[in-house]
Amino acid sequence: MAAQGVGATLQAFLDAANNKNWGDVQKHLHPDVAVTYNENQDSRDGFVQRLTAAAEKGDQLSADSWTVNEAAQVWDLILVFFKDGQISRFYQIASQQSRGPHAGPWAPEVTSKPSKSPLSASEISTLYREYIYSYNTGGAVDTILPQRWAKVVSFHGNSTPVEVILGILKKMLLPVIAGLEYEVEEMVVDVERQQIALRLALEGVPENKNLQKNGPGEKIKVYEQALYGYEEGKIAWGWAAQGFDMTPPPGLEIGDAPR
């Protein structure tokens, strides 16, 4: 399916849920649909029940329409795959940040500005893999990230100098994921829009006690989803949602990060 067709089909599915048209909702789902919410597998019936609960609360689901004046607005990062025109895989991670006490209002979605020298699909894939896997070797923040990110990056709709992002990652992300390694599980590249969407797994023995859900010294596997836009070969904007506890490890004090 073309990108526009995918977007229209997804919104038609969400509209059916908003309008409580459960017959149409079922028609949009492939018979073998696989649904994951945060780190939990969801059955087809469980997925529809979750949509039903959201509709009954009056929630309105939208794939691409953002407003900044909705006090209760929250967002999730969703990767959707289609087979035979129906949703076959649906990965959803709820943004903890948009549900936090200091959340919102959220900025409108960002699209990449046209690049004079756009990257090919393989170039976007290669550059991103070099970047994300550098977290596993310890070189991401000090060396690779400054090379791969623009000088000013719009993250979650807010423009931030890359130096500030470097500081946030050092103080916030690295202590949280210490002991875990990234692996790309799903990747979708949109060359025309110079965008990349990802489902990332983090696996290993966490040093952070907040993530030791299986007990000290035991392995875990958690997930993150992200969407990035490239301009002139560098990451210029991004959205990310983690399906795990991003609370700083015990004993580590961190100031509020910009949204």
Would you call 194 exposed, middle or buried from its count of C-beta atoms within 10 A (0-12, 13-18, 19+)? buried
Q: Identify the H or E element spanning 201.
A: strand 195-204
The pair of three-digit structure tokens given for residue 213, joined into one six-digit string? 């859900």
Structural class in CATH, domain 3-99: alpha beta
Contact status, residue 242 vs residue 182, Cβ threshold 8 Å = no
| Cα radius of gyration rounded to whole Å, the chain | 19
Contact status, residue 63 vs residue 11, Cβ threshold 8 Å = yes
Contact status, residue 74 vs residue 95, Cβ threshold 8 Å = yes
Nearest-angstrom CA–CA distance, 87 and 35: 10
SS3 call for 226: strand
Nearest-angstrom CA–CA distance, 5 and 245: 35
Nearest-angstrom CA–CA distance, 118 and 60: 35
- 61: alpha, beta or left, given left = phi > 0 and alpha = psi -120 to 50? beta
Please state which of the four CATH numbers 3.30.499.10, 3.40.1350.10, 3.10.450.50, 3.40.190.80 is assigned to the domain occupying 121-242. 3.10.450.50
Is 121-242 in the same CATH topology as 3-99?
yes
β-bridge pairing 149-155 and 234-242 = parallel
Per-residue pLDDT band for 66 (boundaries 50, 70, 90) equals very low
- Stretch among 119-128, 148-157, 185-194 having the lowest mean pLDDT: 148-157
Q: Which among 186, 180, 165 is positioned nearest to 133, based on CA atoms?
A: 180
Is the sign of the CA dihedral 215, 216, 218, 220 positive or negative? Answer: positive
pLDDT at 65: 47
Contact status, residue 34 vs residue 81, Cβ threshold 8 Å = no
The pair of three-digit structure tokens given for residue 124, joined into one six-digit string? 């976007």
Range 252-257 average pLDDT:
52
Residue, of 96 and 209, whose pLDDT is higher: 209
In the chain, where the domains are located: 3-99, 121-242
pLDDT at 256: 42
Q: Where are the beta strands (DSSP E) in 16-97?
A: 29-37, 40-42, 76-83, 86-94
Per-residue pLDDT band for 106 (boundaries 50, 70, 90) equals low
